[in-house]
Amino acid sequence: MANDMRKEFGKWLMDIAKYITTAVILSSVFGQVSEAWIIYAGGAFTVLVTLSWGLFLLKPPSKEKKD
């Protein structure tokens, strides 16, 4: 049960990363921002954090060997 919640939260975080990527691309195309690098840097950082956290949660937990 907890593993299912972990997987779903990981998928949700990956979706958030996709939405942020879309928002950054659309704001760069349609927006008139004078400091565009702030949007790119903040978006890239947020995407990297949410994507890596989501992928970490999707990875199956390792089972330790008991001797």
Residues 26-57: b if buried by 16+ CB within 10 A, e if exposed:
eeeeeeeeeeeeeeeeebeebbeebbebbeeb
Q: Give yes or no for a contact between 51 and 17, defined as CB atoms under 8 angstroms apart.
A: yes
Q: Report how many domains make up the chain.
A: 1
**What's the mean per-residue pLDDT of the chain?**
87
Average pLDDT over residues 28-34: 81
Q: Over the stretch 38-57, which tens digit does the pLDDT of each residue have?
A: 889 999 999 999 999 999 99
Q: What gap in Å lies between CA 51 and CA 5, rounded to an integer?
A: 17
Whether residue 39 lies inside any domain: the answer is: yes
Q: What gap in Å lies between CA 59 and CA 26, rounded to an integer?
A: 31
**Which residue range forms the structural domain that includes residue 49?**
2-58
Whether residue 67 lies inside any domain: the answer is: no
Whether residue 63 lies inside any domain: the answer is: no
